Every structure is written in C-alpha cells, then in structure tokens.
Structure 1
Amino acid sequence: MPIALDYNTATSSSKNIPDPPGHLARLSLKEATKKEAAAKPDEKSIALKNRRSDELKMKRAWELATSPAKSLPMQAVMLYFSGSGVQIFSLGMIFMLLTSPLTAIAGILRAFEALRPSPPSDSSSDAPAEPSYLPLAGPMALYAACQGLVLALGLWKCWSMGVLPSGAADWLQFETRLEPPEWSAIRSLSLG
C-alpha cells in the first residue's frame, strides 16, 4: 500500500501555527503610523536608552582594553617555537611585536572614538555637548599597559636572541683605549 502525499491542499495549516517568540508581525502603513504616533519617546525613556547605551559602550571599552593581553599567550607560544636563532621568521615576529604596540598606543584615541559615552543633555544650551574621553581613562590606561606587556615580550625575545645590547661587551666599539702607564723602546718597536 503506497503512501501518497497531497501537496495541493486548498487550506493552509500555517495560519494555525503561532508566531515564534520575538517575531513582529508586519503592520500596514496606517497601523505603523498610528503606532509611531502613539509611542513618541518621552525624556525618561530617552535617558534610560542613553544610560543603557553608555553602559554597553563602557563594557565594550573594557573588552577592547584587555584584548592585547588576551593575545599574549598565543604570541609567547609562537615566539617559543620560533627558536632563539636569528632567522627571518623570528625577526619578522619581533618586528611586529615591537611596532604594533607603538602604533596602537599612538592611535589610542582613534580606537576608543566610537566608545565615548554620550554627554548628559543640557536643556539650557541649544548646541549639542561634545562627548568626553574622561570616563574612558581607566580602559585607556589598561589598554596602554597591555600594549606595554606586548612590547616587553618583544624586548625579552630580542634579549634572549642576543640582538638587544645588554652587556659591557656589546658597547666595546664606543670605548676609548687608554694610554699605557709606561713607555718602553722595545714595545714601541714591536708596535711600529
């Protein structure tokens, strides 16, 4: 006994299925304009929306501030596996570890530009107030500190490879030779 499905039913059963949670039914143009007119935002709801937006911006600012520190373990493992010899791969890694924190700190205002909280609305002046970087001082300081850790990791790798001058023998070319304390004719003949 074969089973056959009839796909050409006249009635649709989808009208009986309820909409999923969060689904907004389409409104006609008249209904939409009526709803917009009825739901004009008051100052309290605007202030609440601005406060929630500022809280979200601060949360994102702290996440941005800690993002360089989150990449430190991966960079340390890559440096470990690159070895302590002077090769093109390890020099490229060191170059990126030394230049990227400096460029990131130089562009710190650009990085946090979108995360500035909106200033409180002042009803006495008509001009909109400029958002300030002052609430972002903590995340910006942490961002600079984390970039400093990345720079320190690069300097440590330079030191471990022997590229960074760290001992007195590294500066011998800049030292002057002292005059010998005594003079002898035999010594002067051997030196020429």
Structure 2
Amino acid sequence: MALIDSKENVNQENKKYKIREKDQDLNDHRYRLFKRAQHLLKRALALEGLESETKIEGQLVLAQVSLLQGDLDEAWQQVTDTLEEARRYELIWEPARAQSLMGSILAAQGHLQQAVQYFENAMQVFHNCGMRLEYARTLHSYGVSLLEHAGTEQKSYQQGLSFLREARQIFHECGAALDLDWIEHEIAFREGS
C-alpha cells in the first residue's frame, strides 16, 4: 500500500512539474510577443505623418505594454511624456486615459493612495464626456488595484468587487465582448478566492 501511495505522489509531483514548465513556456512566449509588439509599435509611431491623436493613442498603448511587462519606470516615463503631449494638443480623453494608466502604474508600485486620485480624475472626465467604455475600463483597473491591495481590509475588497461588477454591466450594455470576457474571468477568480 505504501509503495502505491509513494508512486502516486511521484506521479503527482511530475504532473505539477510539467504544469509549471508549461506555465513558464507560456510566460516566455507572452514576453516575446510583448517585446515584438513593443518593437513594432515603436516603429509605427516613428512614421511621419501620423495624426497627433493617433500617435498619442499609440504611445499610451506602448506605456500599457511596458506596465504589463513589469517595467514600471519605463511605463511611467512614457505615460508622463504622453500626458504632456496630449495636453499640448488640447486633447480631452487622452489625458484622462493617461491618468487612468498612471493610476495603474502607481498601484503596481504600491502607492494606492496616489493611484486613487488618478483613477478618480480619469473616471470624472470619462463620465462627463459620456465615454462609457473608457469609464468602465478605468473602473476595472481601479477595482483590480483595490482588490490587490485590500489585504484583510474588507471594505476595500468589497469596493473593488463592486467596481468590477459595475464595469461588467457597462461592458455588457455596450457589447464590448473582449472586455466583458476579461472581466468575467477576473470576477470569477476574485470571488473564487
């Protein structure tokens, strides 16, 4: 009987190892894809004749890629430069998008109180402009940040979940399938933990 249990334990450990190995391979593949996307986006942004709004939107995506890669200093530099440029062109929603991204970066750095100000400023602009999808995306980022920093604080945890649910409702109403799928997984993960 002990031999069977021992063999079963070895098999389980082998399966766990293979899963970890596959996860690492997947993460390596994602990293390479991010690097490739980042390189291509930089090349595209260097093209002459891009409209300022298109260029700024691309720069914000580039900052988002840096954030997703965990390069927080690079992401911050990119987003602050882009915010300055967006304000120079007197654009309306791009600075708000930049502020939302700044909130995510600050939260990732552990500065949640500062992040809250950026999230709330962005949400106010999106709400005032009737930009429901951007409002919901900011709610999503804000909610995730609250959940990640809630620890044992039940109030922050509940507020984070509430933000995710509100964002989910807006995504559903707007027919934003990709955003809806993403947030459904996030909510299921959070409610399951």
Regarding TM over 0.5, the answer is no
- TM normalised by structure 1 equals 0.31
Greater length-normalized contact order (CA 8 Å, ≥ 6 residues apart): 1
- TM normalised by structure 2 equals 0.31
Of the two, which has the highest radius of gyration?
1
* Structure richer in helix, relative to its length: 2
